[in-house]
Amino acid sequence: GAGVSQSPSNKVTEKGKDVELRCDPISGHTALYWYRQSLGQGLEFLIYFQGNSAPDKSGLPSDRFSAERTGGSVSTLTIQRTQQEDSAVYLCASSLMSGGNSPLHFGNGTRLTVT
Amino acid sequence: GENVEQHPSTLSVQEGDSAVIKCTYSDSASNYFPWYKQELGKRPQLIIDIRSNVGEKKDQRIAVTLNKTAKHFSLHITETQPEDSAVYFCAASVGAQKLVFGQGTRLTINP
């Protein structure tokens, strides 16, 4: 079946602009995660959703970052007033149950470049 | 807070030799330990995972071992092939909700 879908695949934006990244998880997966991967670096946890609620937002770097999930499905990650240090690949993942007990399935990511 | 340390950061081995990547974790309650492979420009993909109730798991040329007392786990790849070249990430569960990842190991297989 279809995997995790993210859009756009690439986004170039000017410093100070807002961006919205979208994630469409695998159908039936209740848990959804956002991670950030800077060039050549590891996977930095941002936020986790179980259904529509976000029990863990501890990884959001600042109040410029927010995320929501509606209908237990699609999620959007919004970055306001983008800064150059926000440039990275933003990866979304979903899992059948909470990721502490079942594998994460990743999307291809959105490569964000802030100029 | 929760932390996963991964070593080495880079590893180069001759084709046919074995490769070992090691990780340590800090949360004694962690009970799920997956390994992901990320090829250049692609998404991370699960290659093997292990739960805390077993000490070793094997899948063809790949094996993972877990020492809960010492809080470390390792990935072993035998008879390495060029297509094994990639970045490998270990991860450990935290609070049964999320995974915390290591910094990754760039594995290069030399022909």
Query: Is pLDDT above 60 for A49?
Result: yes
The answer to whether the CB atoms of B97 and A100 lie below 8 A apart is: yes
Query: Is pLDDT above 70 for A99?
Result: no
Do the beta carbons of residue A19 and residue A8 sit within 8 Å? no
Query: Is pLDDT above 60 for A110?
Result: yes
pLDDT in tens, chain B (111 residues): 678 999 999 999 999 999 999 999 998 889 999 999 999 989 999 999 999 888 999 999 999 999 999 999 999 999 999 999 999 999 999 877 789 999 999 999 999
Nearest to A45 among B43, B100, B103 (CB): B100
Nearest to B34 among A45, A98, A103 (CB): A103
Query: Maximum Cα–Cα distance for chain B, whole Å?
Result: 42
Q: What is the pLDDT of residues A75-97, one digit of tens each?
A: 999 999 999 999 999 999 999 88
Q: What is the pLDDT of residues A1-20, one digit of tens each?
A: 589 999 999 999 999 999 99
Q: Return the pLDDT at A36.
A: 97
Q: What are phi and psi of B98, to 5 degrees?
A: -135, 170
E strand map for chain B: 4-7, 10-14, 19-25, 32-38, 45-51, 56-59, 62-67, 72-77, 86-94, 98-101, 105-110
Residue A58: pLDDT band (50, 70, 90) is confident
If you write DSSP's letter for every residue of A54-81 in order, what string do you get? EEE-TT--STTEEEEE-TTS-EEEEE-S
Residue A55: pLDDT band (50, 70, 90) is confident
How much is the average pLDDT of A25-40? Answer: 92
**CA dist list (Å): A77 to A33, A96, B18, B44, B61:** 10, 21, 41, 20, 38
- Distance (Å) from the alpha carbon of B19 to chain A's nearest alpha carbon: 20
- Distance (Å) from the alpha carbon of A3 to chain B's nearest alpha carbon: 11
Question: Of B30, B97, B103, B105, which to mutate for an interface test with A (greatest number of A Cβ within 10 Å)?
Answer: B97
**Chain A interface, Cβ < 8 Å to B:** 33, 35, 41-43, 45, 48, 50, 55-56, 91, 98-109
The answer to whether the CB atoms of A106 and B43 lie below 8 A apart is: yes
Nearest to B97 among A35, A43, A99 (CB): A99
